[in-house]
Structure 1
Amino acid sequence: MKRALRNAGLGGCLALTAGCATSQPNTFTFTADLPPNFSYVAVVYYVPAKGETCTVETKDNLAPVFNNAWRTEYKPDSEITIRRTRNGCPLVVSRIELDINATYGKTRGDFGGDSAGVVIRDELDPQYKRAFNEAGVSTFFGECQWLFRTAGTNRRIVKILDCKKTNAQGEPGRGRPFSAYTLDQLSGKTVRMRIKSADEERPAIGDTWVKVPNGWKRCMGDNFDDQYAFCFGNYKDFSGFQMPDGRQCTIYPGCTE
């Protein structure tokens, strides 16, 4: 009788263990494959679960931020909670707002940024719902391009980052890098953002630079103090400019002709 009870207890433990082993984790991983000197900041937002009538004030439902100190403590992997409760209200992850940051110089202002995003819903139209592979990974893609211009009385080079959605083959789409999932897809999975850097940079403002065989030359404008310095058909008079590292140059990006 005692042996039967012990066996029954053991069977119950095994069943319980099996149940625990098959329970779904309440997290998924967001990660990114980025070019050198790139990083991301992720802000995660939560809303009441479907069917719930409760509400939670923003101060009690603050959005977790990953890589807020992206300059000094960047980590590519972020573990994101799928469901949580605040003030007794069941919440689910709703969206991830992403800032893509990249540096091009050593001073604090020498960086550019653009945005990307992930949306999570209870249901999605199949055409917007991204799938996972057998390893539990889903990847969405984008390409970022530097747009350069000059600023200030010394015509110093500054850059703007412009990021677009692409497919896996690098063909551009409309809008920023973006992906969408349903809640029931995410448990234990990995969502990866893969960004490549465009092969070439281009001017941020039209009719201010002239393309030459080995780079770009800056139009002079009326004179060196002309901050706009549009070409206006004058493709013979050019000015020097200053690179972010302080070099005085006449052609971008090679500096010297």
Structure 2
Amino acid sequence: MSEVVGFCVAKQLLSRLPWAFALAGAVSGCSAIKPADSFTLLTELPPGFKFKGEASYVPRTGESCTVPAREGRNYPGKKFYKQDLSNEAQTANFEVPLTSNEDGCPLVLDNFAYQVDAKYGAARLDLGRAFTGVSFRDGSTEAPSPPPVLVLQKQCEWLFRTEGPDRYIGKILKCKSVAAPDQANDSSVKGPMQRAEFAGKTIKVVFNISSVERPAVGDNWVQFPSGWKRCMGDSLEDAYAFCRGNTTDFKPFKMPDGRDCTVYPNCTE
């Protein structure tokens, strides 16, 4: 066994561990033994993002076997992928098998679910999370073939709000599918994809983050040229504090870093 093949086999063994980083593609030598029955998942993340993916497998149609039960760190029927957080924009690629075999049970890829986390502050819990994924179904190679690289575009934005008695700013991450350049909106592929069509193909998922933020809850903030002001509500202790037409009384809040502010995101007018 050559060093390259031995290294790639070691990576396949690592893929059985939860959230082990699938290194396929990281070493060019592995491309020589790239499985034909797989697709490449290519992810592009903005600064401050990280990614986790989970490929789930089910018995092939017509098989009477079942996926073996989990045993310790071994997760039959699942493969895990990970892209760590970076302060820089980053790209990663993973080889995702379309078929598998566990204890003699032939399996096929049922879905690939993934989550993205994004940081908005220094504290451990200052992050937002969004979920999405791709599902697959049986199909024929005679069906219309997707392009060599299918691009799925995800547009993300921050929704801000105040939390707790001290009214700290917290944020919710929201991502939605948008039309990719030169391609149809990926709403056309929200349904299950024909598995056989993607052997040797690439699914490229591009995440972008908007520079414009907006309130997470309606009628809580009033926008001014200097930024957003938090409505007073009934009192400083009013956690819901709807404006209800009062656009003159506002209350202070705190940024994630602890600064006392009166307008978001500039903090002071």
TM range (shorter): 0.7 to 0.9
SS at match of 1:42: strand
Separation (CA, whole Å) in 1 of partners of 2:214 and 2:170: 12
Q: How does 1:5-154 map to 2 (within 5 A)?
A: 25-59=36-70, 61-67=76-82, 70-71=84-85, 76-123=92-139, 131-132=146-147, 136-154=148-166
Shift of 1:245: 1.6
Of 175, 193, 205, the residue aligned with 1:181 is: 193
SS at match of 2:196: helix
When the two structures are aligned, how many residues end up with a matched partner? Answer: 229
1:163 aligned onto 2:179: no
TM-score under structure 1 length normalisation = 0.78
Amino acid at match of 1:46: Y
Asked if the contact 1:95–1:120 (Cα under 8 Å) also holds between the matched residues in 2, the reply is yes
Separation (CA, whole Å) in 2 of partners of 1:167 and 1:183: 23
Deviations 1:203-223, CA, capped at 9 Å, x for gaps: 111111001123211111122
Shift of 1:75: 7.2
Separation (CA, whole Å) in 2 of partners of 1:249 and 1:240: 6
Separation (CA, whole Å) in 1 of partners of 2:195 and 2:55: 14
Shift of 1:247: 1.5
Separation (CA, whole Å) in 1 of partners of 2:184 and 2:228: 24
Decide whether aligned partners of structure 1 residues 182 and 22 sit closer, same or farther in structure 2, where only a CA change above 3 A counts.
Answer: farther
Asked if the contact 1:166–1:172 (Cα under 8 Å) also holds between the matched residues in 2, the reply is no
Separation (CA, whole Å) in 2 of partners of 1:196 and 1:52: 41
1:211 aligned onto 2:226: no
CA RMSD of superposed structures (Å) = 3.1
Decide whether aligned partners of structure 1 residues 171 and 89 sit closer, same or farther in structure 2, where only a CA change above 3 A counts.
Answer: closer
Separation (CA, whole Å) in 1 of partners of 2:184 and 2:165: 36
Q: How does 1:232-243 map to 2 (within 5 A)?
A: 232-243=244-255
Amino acid at match of 1:181: M
| Percent pairwise identity | 39
Separation (CA, whole Å) in 1 of partners of 2:157 and 2:184: 12
Decide whether aligned partners of structure 1 residues 158 and 102 sit closer, same or farther in structure 2, where only a CA change above 3 A counts.
Answer: same
Deviations 1:71-110, CA, capped at 9 Å, x for gaps: 48x9722221221111211111111011121110111100
Amino acid at match of 2:58: V
Separation (CA, whole Å) in 2 of partners of 1:188 and 1:174: 20
Alignment gaps of 5+ in structure 2: 1-31
Separation (CA, whole Å) in 2 of partners of 1:188 and 1:206: 46
Alignment gaps of 5+ in structure 1: 1-20
Asked if the contact 2:43–2:91 (Cα under 8 Å) also holds between the matched residues in 1, the reply is no
Amino acid at match of 2:171: K
